[in-house]
């Protein structure tokens, strides 16, 4: 089981791990031992997440979200299989925790009269500067 937040626990049947060979440094060990981990979370079928939470999770996961509705996280940061497994679970926990946070709705506000006047004055000044960049009359070309 993976404890994500208060009241949200991911069951073991929703997670599957596969160990694969890692790339990068490691000498001869890298060709023999499967240290990289591929953690798969069946998010679409999870009874612990609501519809809006799954939608936010899908948006946050990006290309880690598969067509089957699962999240796949690959970690090959260290040479230790146990440490990579721990990092993968932490990343999944952080991703799900971020999806649980309901974004604050933006309230549209009207600009103040003073800020509107300052903006228009700046535009007018900038326009004058640009018109003064033209050719001066009376000079030969």
51-104, pLDDT tens digit by residue? 898 899 999 998 999 999 899 999 988 888 899 999 999 999 899 889 888 889
Per DSSP, the chain holds a count of helices (H) and strands (E) of: 4, 5
Q: Determine the pLDDT at residue 6.
A: 74
**The pLDDT value given to residue 117:** 97
- pLDDT: is 59 or 4 the higher one? 59
Confidence label for 136 from pLDDT (cuts 50, 70 and 90): confident
pLDDT at 114: 97
Report the residue count for the chain.
141
- How far is it, in rounded angstroms, from Cα 26 to Cα 78? 9
Q: What is the mean pLDDT of residues 2-6?
A: 75
Residue with the larger pLDDT of the pair 141 and 61: 61
CATH node for 2-100? 3.30.160.20
State yes or no: pLDDT of 139 exceeds 70: no
Q: pLDDT band for position 138 (50/70/90)? A: low
Facing residues of 41 across strands? 15, 71
Give the Cα separation of 137 and 35 in Å (integer). 76
CB 17 within 8 A of CB 38: yes
DSSP category for residue 68: T
Quick one: how far is CA 23 from the chain centroid?
Answer: 24
Contact 118, 126 (CB under 8 A): no
pTM, full prediction: 0.69
Compute the distance between CA of residue 111 and CA of residue 32 in angstroms, rounded to an integer.
Answer: 64
Alpha-carbon span 85 to 7, nearest angstrom: 23
Check whether 141 has a pLDDT greater than 60: no
């Amino acid at each position: 089981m993976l404890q994500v937040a208060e009241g949200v626990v991911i069951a073991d049947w929703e997670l599957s791990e596969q160990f694969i060979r890692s790339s990068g440094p490691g000498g001869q060990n890298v060709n023999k031992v499967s240290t990289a981990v591929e953690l798969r979370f069946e998010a679409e079928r999870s009874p612990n997440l609501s519809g809006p939470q799954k939608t936010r999770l899908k948006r946050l996961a990006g290309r880690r979200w598969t067509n089957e509705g699962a999240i796949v996280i690959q970690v090959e940061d260290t040479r230790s299989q146990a440490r990579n497994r721990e990092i993968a679970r932490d990343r999944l926990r952080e991703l799900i925790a971020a999806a649980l946070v309901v974004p604050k709705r933006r309230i549209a506000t009207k600009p103040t009269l003073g800020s509107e006047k300052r903006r228009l004055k700046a535009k007018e000044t900038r326009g004058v500067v640009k018109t003064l960049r033209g050719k001066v009359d009376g000079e030969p070309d």
